[in-house]
Structure 1
Amino acid sequence: MGGMTPATAPWTDRTDLIALAERLEARFVGGAVRDSLLGQAVADIDLATPLSPETVIARVREAGFKPVPTGIAHGTITAVLPDGPVEVTTLRRDVSTDGRHAVVAFTDDWREDAARRDFTMNALYADPVTSELFDYFGGLDDLKAGRVRFIGDPLQRIAEDHLRILRFFRFHARFGQAIDQAGLDACTQRANDLMALSRERIAAELLKLLVAARAVPVVALMVEQGIFRAVIPEIDRAGADRLARLAQAEAAAGIAPDPIRRLAALLPPEAAEPVGARLKLSNLDRKRLIAATAGPGDEGPHALAYRVGTTGAVDRLLLAGESVAAIRDWTPPALPLTGGALVERGVRKGPDVARLLRQVETRWIAEGFPDAGRVAELADAAVAQA
Structure 2
Amino acid sequence: MGKLPAADWTRREGLRQLTAALGAENLRWVGGAVRDTLLALPVKDIDGATPLLPDAVMERCRQAGIRIVPTGLEHGTLTAVLPEGPVEITSLRRDVATDGRRATVAFATKWQEDASRRDFTINALYAHPETLEISDYFGGLEDLDARRVRFIGDPHERIREDHLRILRYYRFQSRFGADLDEAAEEACAALAHTLKGLSRERIAMELLNLLGLPDPSATIARMRERGVLQVILPEAQACHVEALKRLIAAESTSGIAPNAIRRLAALLPPAPEVADSVAARLRLSRTQRGQLNCAASRVAQDAQNPRALAYTEGMDGAIDRLLLQGAELSALDGWQVPEFPLRGGTIVGRGVIAGPQVAAIMRAVERCWVAEGFPGPDRIEALLEEQLVQVLRDPSA
The TM-score with structure 2 as length reference comes to 0.94
Letter in 2 for 1:273: D
5 Å matches for 1:63-102?
A: 63-102=64-103
My pick for the range that moved more, 274-283 or 239-248, is: 274-283
1:5 matched to which residue of 2?
Answer: 5
Contact 2:236 2:267 in 1 (8 A): yes
2:296 matched to which residue of 1?
Answer: 293
1:181 matched to which residue of 2?
Answer: 182
1:217 matched to which residue of 2?
Answer: 218
1:150 matched to which residue of 2?
Answer: 151
Contact 2:214 2:258 in 1 (8 A): no
2:394 matched to which residue of 1?
Answer: none
2:239 matched to which residue of 1?
Answer: 238
1:28 matched to which residue of 2?
Answer: 29
Give how far 1:248 is off. Answer: 0.5
2:47 matched to which residue of 1?
Answer: 46
The number of residues matched between the two structures is 384
Letter in 2 for 1:277: A
Query: 1:278 and 2:276 equivalent?
Result: no
Query: 1:334 and 2:339 equivalent?
Result: yes
Partner of 1:213: helix, strand, or coil?
coil
After the TM superposition, which parts of structure 1 deviate over 3 Å for at least 4 consecutive aligned residues? 296-299
Q: Tell me the alpha carbon deviations over residues 315-363 of structure 1, each in whole angstroms, 9 at most, x when there is no partner.
A: 1111111111222432201011100111011111100111000111111
Contact 2:54 2:76 in 1 (8 A): yes
My pick for the range that moved more, 286-295 or 301-310, is: 286-295
Query: 1:364 and 2:369 equivalent?
Result: yes
5 Å matches for 1:79-228?
A: 79-228=80-229
Q: Tell me the alpha carbon deviations over residues 271-312 of structure 1, each in whole angstroms, 9 at most, x when there is no partner.
A: 322111111111221221121022254550000000010111
My pick for the range that moved more, 128-137 or 297-306, is: 297-306
Distance 1:22 1:28 in 2: 14
Give how far 1:262 is off. Answer: 0.2
Letter in 2 for 1:15: E
Partner of 1:330: helix, strand, or coil?
coil
Query: 1:307 and 2:312 equivalent?
Result: yes
Identical-pair percentage: 54
Change in CA separation of 1:147 and 1:333 when aligned onto 2, cut-off 3 Å: same
CA RMSD of aligned residues (A): 1.4
Give how far 1:2 is off. Answer: 4.5
Q: Tell me the alpha carbon deviations over residues 137-164 of structure 1, each in whole angstroms, 9 at most, x when there is no partner.
A: 1001111111000000100000000000
Contact 2:50 2:91 in 1 (8 A): yes
Contact 1:224 1:237 in 2 (8 A): no
Distance 1:176 1:329 in 2: 38
Segments of 5+ residues of structure 1 without an aligned counterpart are none
Contact 2:4 2:133 in 1 (8 A): yes
Partner of 2:231: helix, strand, or coil?
coil
The TM-score with structure 1 as length reference comes to 0.96
Distance 1:35 1:153 in 2: 25
1:17 matched to which residue of 2?
Answer: 15
Segments of 5+ residues of structure 2 without an aligned counterpart are 392-397
Contact 1:21 1:47 in 2 (8 A): no
Contact 1:335 1:361 in 2 (8 A): yes
Give how far 1:379 is off. Answer: 1.8
Partner of 1:269: helix, strand, or coil?
coil
Contact 1:188 1:225 in 2 (8 A): yes
